[in-house]
Chains A and B, each alone.
Chain A
Amino acid sequence: MSDDVRTDIAEAARSFGITPEDYMLPARHLIRIVDQDGTVLSTEEQGAEPGHDYPVPADEDLLEAYRRLVAGRRINDQNSALVRQGRMAVYPSSHGQEACQVAAAACLGEGDWLFPTYRDTVAVISRGVDPVEAMTIFRGDWHGGFDPRQHKVGIQSTPLTTQLLHAVGVAHAARLRGEDTVVVALCGDGATSEGDFHEALNFAAVFHLPVIFFVQNNQYAISVPLARQTVAPSLAHKAVGYGMAGERVDGNDLVALLAVLERGVRLVRGGAGPLLVEAHTYRIQAHTNADDATRYREDAEVQEWLAKDPVKRMRTYLTDRGLLTEELQSRYEQEAEDIATALREGMNRESTPDPQDLFAHVYSVPTPQLAEQSAMLAEELSREEAS
Chain B
Amino acid sequence: MSTTQNTDAGPRPGSAQTGPDTGEITVAVDAARESTTRAGGAGVPQPRPESPAAPVPAGPVTMAKALNAALADALSADAGVVVFGEDVGTLGGVFRITDGLAARFGADRCFDTPLAESGIAGMSVGMAINGMRPVIEMQFDAFAYPAFEQIASHIAKMSNRTRGALPMPIVIRIPYAGGIGGVEHHCDSSEAYYAHTPGLKVVTPATVTDAYLLLRAAIDSDDPIVFMEPKKLYFSKDRVDLDALREQYESGAADVAGPRAAVESGGAAVARTGTDATLIAYGPSVPTALAAAAAAAEEGRSLEVVDVRTIVPFDDATVSESVRRTGRAIVISEESGFASVASEIAARVQERCFHSLAAPVLRVTGFDIPYPAPKLEHHFLPGVDRILDAVDDLQWED
Contacts and interface: CB of A to CB of B under 8 A. Distances in A.
A93 B153 CA distance: 23
B318 to A, nearest CB: 11
Contact of B266 (A155, A170, A195, A367): A367
B19 interface: no
A173 B131 contact: yes
Nearest to B163: A361
Q: Main SS of the interface on chain A?
A: helix
B176 interface: no
Nearest to B153: A159
A330 interface: no
Interface string B47-89: 0000000000000000000000000000000000010000000
B119 A203 contact: yes
Interface string A352-382: 0000010011111101110000000000000
Contacts of B119: 165, 168, 196, 199-200, 202-203
B153 A196 contact: no
B153 A162 contact: yes
Contacts, number: 145
A361 B274 CA distance: 39
B147 to A, nearest CB: 10
A165 B130 CA distance: 13
Interface residues of A, number: 41
Interface string B112-138: 011010110111111111111010000
B296 to A, nearest CB: 31
Interface stretch (B93-101, B164-172, B228-236, B375-383): B164-172
The CB with the most chain A CB atoms within 10 A, among B161, B164, B199, is that of B161
Contacts of B163: 142, 144, 147, 357, 360-361
Contacts of B199: 362-363
B221 interface: yes
A364 B126 contact: no
B201 A363 contact: yes
Nearest to B125: A166
Given A144-B163, A155-B158, A202-B114, A165 B123 contact: yes
A203 B160 contact: no
B165 A148 contact: yes
B145 to A, nearest CB: 12
Given A142-B161, A202-B119, A206-B114, A148 B166 contact: yes
Contact of B129 (A143, A159, A169): A169
Given A154-B129, A170-B126, A364-B159, 16 more contacts: A162-B122, A165-B121, A168-B126, A169-B128, A169-B130, A195-B118, A196-B119, A199-B114, A200-B119, A203-B116, A206-B113, A361-B159, A361-B162, A362-B198, A362-B199, A367-B265
